[in-house]
Structure 1
Amino acid sequence: MTGTRDLPFPAAPAPEPRRLVLVTGMSGAGMSVALKALEDLGYESVDNLRLSLVPALVEQGEASRRPLAIVIDSRTRDFSADAFIDHIEALTAHPDLEVRLLFLDCGDEVLQRRFTETRRRHPLAVDRPVPDGIQRERALLNPLRERADVTVDTTHLSIHDLRRLLAGHFALDAQPALQVFITSFSFRLGLPREADLVFDVRFLTNPHWDPELRPMSGLDEPVAARVAGDPDFPAFFRNLTDLLRPLLPRYNQEGKSYLTIAVGCTGGRHRSVYVAERLAAWLRDLGVKVGLTHRDLERSGPRPG
């Protein structure tokens, strides 16, 4: 047994950093839904925690190393954007933590409607009109929005789409392969703020001007045939896929886990819906995990699409 003291022993692999997601954003933008979605993904969740208690909570969980999601927003008694950023920087410097800041945003009109419909008081406008509270909160939170690692605008998102987006960004068992989310949309109703890439297909033949096709959508075969029959469509779609093919592995190499591609037309009903469907099918044939939604299809009606 001589010489056993000199045998090299392999060092134990270092544990992966513990995941910590800090959630903030505009009141009414869906923070409760986001926290529940993260909890369903396997995170321990804590709502409305005071900033001063964050370090102690993180230290208490070191033994279990369970991923942690914390909502900290303007309801918190000692809330301050500057203090919040200071805490984020301190936590980020900890080698055993992987810290990400999620900011949930939403359009002012939609926020006001949500508060009106639920008859809730805005936390920053207890004795004032809701719009005053929204503007005050937006100014207060702007530094955090600029600092966020992930920003999600929920103005036009369903609860299902929000949960799917969060799963793409924060799933604990996510594979290293890039996940892609495709949405069609109407330019009349605004750009999807969460989009990484936006493609405008308003140059294609518009089925809206055919009375028989107008009530249909890009999901219907007659509309699909009309759009695909545009003389410029084959070259356009070939160029689009030629553009995306080399980009996807590069995004993956850079560590981007989720890519949102938006395809827009005038009404979000015909051309963009068909192109989004074709693009999703092409990506699936490549083995890419794809989510697909048509943001404005149900709202568009028989408008120019």
Structure 2
Amino acid sequence: MEIVIVTGLSGAGKTAALNVLEDEGYLSIDNLPTPLIRDLVELMEETPEINKIALALDQRGRVFKRELYKTIKDLKDDYGAKVLFLNATDNELIKRFKEKRRLHPMSPGGTIVEGIRKERELMDRVMDLSIPIDTTNLTLGELKNIIHSLVLNDKNEISVIFKTFGFKNGIVADADLVFDVRFITNPYYVSELKLKSGYNPDCYNFVLAQNESGEFIEKVHDLLKFLIPLYENEGKEQLIVAFGCTGGRQRSVSVARRLAELLKDSGINITIINRDLDEAHND
């Protein structure tokens, strides 16, 4: 039986993640008290038509907060459950709560900031058991792609994610490897390419036509082909590789796209997330 546990911080997107799994045929259950979970799993084992369960677990049921870590660890140890921990920056969580005019469940009589702080402290140990997913800049479609690569991967391969970003907006916080491609001549200063992104053929070809780009891509391609199987052998479930340029729209996007194409030819599928590229301006 497959068990996926969706946990993390309030406002980080657990409900959306659970909905993705439900759409894929998982029996989805939200916020079941932890003392009842073991009984539920044992019951499901006796129900052959149900072989995939997704459980959303968090600290909202604070009466059982001490049992949350143990419950998740037991499900992981005994059933091989995959644990997804959805997270986001404090500023993003505050914005989401304010937009929805909601009180934070960990601080109903206090501030949103205090609620986030309390929840981070309580969930710290749970994060150590989990695959982290930072939803700060993710669209729903990108979240769905990540969950597919992590959970719905029939070969149980490592999930490799390329994130492009602009240094002017800060580095990618959850990256395992970061490559700075600002050494490549910037197409932004070519008048006809200034407003184009790395998805525009002219911009893409300009970036890749440079000798330095080709040599860099070749070396990183060889490095990743070497590293990915090693990470996989060590049990790593997700590898996030970030590529940064100044604005996160042209050089980093072009390089990530080309590397993803090459790795796909080597049998490694890549999910690309362009943090600082507006979907409406992908050309």
Residue 71 of structure 1 pairs with residue 56 of structure 2: yes
**Alignment-mate amino acid for residue 76 of structure 1:** G
Q: Is the 8 A contact 1:267 1:300 kept in 2?
A: no
Output the CA distance in 1 between the equivalents of 2:235 and 2:77: 20
Output the CA distance in 1 between the equivalents of 2:237 and 2:125: 24
Displacement of 1:197 after TM fit?
2.8
Output the CA distance in 1 between the equivalents of 2:179 and 2:96: 30
Identity %: 38
Partner of 1:87: 71
**Alignment-mate amino acid for residue 118 of structure 1:** K
Residue 53 of structure 1 pairs with residue 36 of structure 2: yes
Structure 1 length-normalised TM = 0.83
Output the CA distance in 2 between the equivalents of 1:296 and 1:281: 21
Output the CA distance in 1 between the equivalents of 2:21 and 2:189: 45
Describe the SS at the equivalent of 2:105: coil
Partner of 2:105: 123
**Alignment-mate amino acid for residue 207 of structure 1:** P
Of 119, 138, 145, the match for 1:157: 138
Displacement of 1:152 after TM fit?
0.5
Q: 1:155 to 1:220 in 2, by over 3 A?
A: same
Residue 280 of structure 1 pairs with residue 260 of structure 2: yes
Output the CA distance in 2 between the equivalents of 1:26 and 1:244: 32
User: Alignment RMSD, CA only?
Assistant: 2.3
Within 5 A, what are the aligned runs for 1:176-191? 176-191=156-171
Describe the SS at the equivalent of 2:193: coil
* Superposed CA offset, 1:156-187 (max 9, x none): 1111111111111111x612455533232122
Describe the SS at the equivalent of 1:297: coil
Aligned residues: 279
Q: Is the 8 A contact 1:269 1:300 kept in 2?
A: no
**Alignment-mate amino acid for residue 180 of structure 1:** V
The structure having more radius of gyration, on CA atoms, is 1
Describe the SS at the equivalent of 2:241: strand
Q: Is the 8 A contact 1:24 1:72 kept in 2?
A: yes
Displacement of 1:194 after TM fit?
4.2
**Alignment-mate amino acid for residue 158 of structure 1:** T
Partner of 1:100: 82
Displacement of 1:263 after TM fit?
1.4
Q: 1:78 to 1:217 in 2, by over 3 A?
A: same
Q: 1:89 to 1:184 in 2, by over 3 A?
A: closer
Displacement of 1:59 after TM fit?
1.4
Q: Is the 8 A contact 2:198 2:204 kept in 1?
A: yes
Q: Report the structure, 1 or 2, having the larger helix content.
A: 2
* Superposed CA offset, 1:285-305 (max 9, x none): 22333332322111899xxxx
